[in-house]
Amino acid sequence: MSDTGVGLSLVKPAEIQMIDVDATVMPDGSTDIDLLDIDTHKGDAVGNYIQGTLFGYYRNARQNEQEDICLDCERAYNNKYDLAAQQTLAKRKQDSGDSTVWVPYTRTKINIAVAKTYEKMLNTSNNPWSVVPEQTSAEELRMNERYIQQAMEAGALKEDPKRALDKMNEFSEKEARETCDKMEKEIADQMNKGKAFQALGKTILQQHYLGTGIAKFEISVDNEEKWKEGPMGWNLETTETPFPKIKFVSWFDVFFDPYSKSKEQSNGVIERHVMKRSDLLALKESQGFKESKIQEIIINNPDGNHIDLDYETTIRGVNDQDQNVQKNDNYFDVYEAWVELPGNKLIEYGYEDTKGIEPTGAYKVNCWVCDNITVKLIMNPHKPQKVPYFIVPYEENTSTINGTGISEDLFGVQEVINSVTRATVDNGAFSHAPITEFNVDLLKSGATAPDVLKPRGIYYREGGDPKEPMMRFHDIPENSQVLYNIYEMFSKIGEDVTGISGSTEESMPAANASQGGVSMVLSQKNILQRTVVGNIDKYLYQPMIEMYYNFNMQYSQKDDIKTPAKVQANGVTSIIAKEMQSQQLMAFAQLTNNEIDSNIVNRKEILEELAVSLDQDGEKMVYSDTDAAERNQNKQQSEMQAAQAQQQGVINQIQTENQGELEQIRIKGTIDRKKQELIEASDMQQVILKGEVDSNAADFELFKQFQQMMMQQRNAERSTQQQQQNTERSAQQQQDYTQQNAAQQGNP
């Protein structure tokens, strides 16, 4: 950005001016070649050729092509500016308090991508590779036919010859498959014992942030100690057996033939080891190393012969390590070369087995050189003779063996995000309080303008126009929202460039999406990741497992694991395919989970396939047809029993209700009958009474007259009693009145 002038790749690293072993002119202008420790007159023909010629050639080619880019990637992953940017920002911070913040945007994206790759590689119960038997050879088929023919001639064949031959061929294929399974288990055990996955994890991490990860296949010696009984008793014996290992190698320590364009097979590789004296001496115990040559090197270089190259100093500075490693720190530069040597160099060197060596021929060798002296020289021990380095690109380039990583993809985005963030912090620092303008001409004589305004401060002035203020305050515009919008825009660009979202979680397609829609969404989301893990398949697992297989075929004493076979490293790709299949199956299962579709789809088959795609045992997770039928029968019986119980309950309820109704009817009938009987009895009584009245009419008339007479007499008696009561009440009232008057007169 123009406001900072600081970029990731605009300024070349210039931390410390180091001696370049490939230079012919020293940094001070001198041409003292002895200071560079490339004295080609010492050593031997092969050592001078490897260290003095090939290494310088490989190193110059890498330095001109890729080294600066990878150093910038290293800085970006470790959240560091280059030295020039650090100096510029430090000066600005000192002068005006500017921010020096670095936003770990690149590192976050890399960690998310690595986590997703690990998940695809390790979140499975199966190996991401397989060993499969070769197709049955024509010779073996003819041999089986001869066996059948001999059995027919001997009269020992009891079935159809063609069927017997098919069974024999099937048995051969089954036997080969079982042997391959044993080979797979042996390789898996060797990888676990040799801690291969730790090395592979580091390789994948460097693949993501540098663009190229490197792993190496090594044959070490496994010392196995066992007690054995001998003539003199029990003895502890040590057995040395070759053992395969996978080792992580930093990209900065490996130098390729610049004409190598193929990741599968490089023309030549030189690995530079920086060894302590003890490590160099330990090589004497390894097979093929010459003890006398190692002793000669140490005698000639008692303090070591290591010279720091510029990239080593930069890397230590990026990782906050000591940068002052000197030549006399007892470190040695050792070069391990897997290259083709011309025959004349081998003859000139005096190679032990020169029989069959042609001066004009080319021979693949493994050579170790230190101080231009060859300490080990053997023919490439691997069969077939391959360079044991696996070069794994993140994004493949057709013009170079190196790949492009996430850090390089985000160079521009990271630079803008850093610049915008620094500008936001600086703008906030300026805009949170006004800037003060102080007119010193108005101050009282002898007074000085304050550097900082303090609360309740008193400042004396004299003279000048009273309308002219001594201080003015200016507000700085606040632009954080505009800067934040730029930040968001470039964050989105970073996601589009890398295909990595801001979270480790990925949203699933909607359950009601079509199958084609689900596939399209998943394909768009994972297309870059599938490319990355495809490169891991192609450039890491395939050649690595092939070397494990070839090693066991060459060195293993277990004959039951050996068979003609081929390696298929399609595990990571198949994992992604399986994941997509499981997501599609889940979407399909949800779409067809209704009454209409359930009658036309085989749901059991869908569930079994879904379980298999999730690395589960479909036969255990889903009931078999027999178990399902039995469960359905039991369920139907249970449902029938429940229905019968419910039906019986309804019947009982109906019966209870009916019994109540019948009882009510019975009671009503009884009441009606009783009522009828009463009516009939009443009618009969009326008839009887009517007859009695008719027969005694005269007596009734007399009775009626007598009744009237008795009523009159009763009325007269009541009238007499009433009059008597009235008379008594009047007399009592008169007496009460008299007593009251007397009382009033006697008491005025």
Q: In the predicted model, is pLDDT for residue 21 greater than 90?
A: no
Whether 640 is covered by a domain: the verdict is: no
Whether 664 is covered by a domain: the verdict is: no
Burial class for 236, CB neighbours closer than 10 Å (0-12, 13-18, 19+): exposed
Q: What are phi and psi of 461, to 5 degrees?
A: -130, 160
Of 79, 71, 105, 100, nearest to 4 (Cα)?
100
Q: In the predicted model, is pLDDT for residue 7 greater than 50?
A: no
Whether 607 is covered by a domain: the verdict is: no
Least confident window among 77-81, 146-150, 388-392, 681-685 = 681-685
Q: Which two tokens stand for residue 492?
A: 């989105």
pLDDT, mean over the chain: 78
- 3-state SS string for 220-289: EEEEEEEEEEECCEEEEEEEEEEEEEEEEECHHHEEECCCCCCCCCCCCEEEEEEEEHHHHHHHHHCCCC
Q: In the predicted model, is pLDDT for residue 73 greater than 60?
A: yes
In tens, the pLDDT along 593-643 reads 787 777 777 777 777 777 766 656 666 677 777 777 777 778 878 888 887
Whether 423 is covered by a domain: the verdict is: no
Whether 7 is covered by a domain: the verdict is: no
- Name, in order, each residue with C-beta under 8 angstroms of 369's C-beta and a sequence gap of 6 or more: 43, 46, 47, 50, 51, 334, 335, 337, 375
Whether 474 is covered by a domain: the verdict is: no
CA dist 58 and 50 (Å) reads 10
Alpha helices per DSSP H over 351-479? 406-409, 411-431
Q: In the predicted model, is pLDDT for residue 394 greater than 90?
A: yes
Of 545, 579, 544, nearest to 130 (Cα)?
545
Least confident window among 23-37, 64-78, 209-223 = 23-37
Of 297, 372, 280, 277, nearest to 34 (Cα)?
372
Whether 653 is covered by a domain: the verdict is: no
Angle at 709 between CA 706 and CA 711, to 5 degrees: 110
Q: Which residue has the tokens 């036969």?
A: 619
CA dist 247 and 271 (Å) reads 13
Domain tally, the chain: 1
Q: What is the mean pLDDT of residues 8-30?
A: 35
Helices and strands in the chain: count of H runs, count of E runs: 22, 12
Q: In the predicted model, is pLDDT for residue 532 greater than 60?
A: yes
By three-state DSSP, how is residue 39 classified? Answer: coil
Whether 38 is covered by a domain: the verdict is: yes
The 8-class DSSP code of residue 304 comes to B
Burial class for 388, CB neighbours closer than 10 Å (0-12, 13-18, 19+): buried
Q: Which two tokens stand for residue 443?
A: 């101050």
Higher pLDDT among residues 571 and 261, named by residue: 261
Q: Which pLDDT band, with edges at 50, 70 and 90, does 10 fall under?
A: very low
This prediction's pTM:
0.68
The domain in which residue 80 lies consists of 33-219+249-411
CA dist 512 and 592 (Å) reads 10
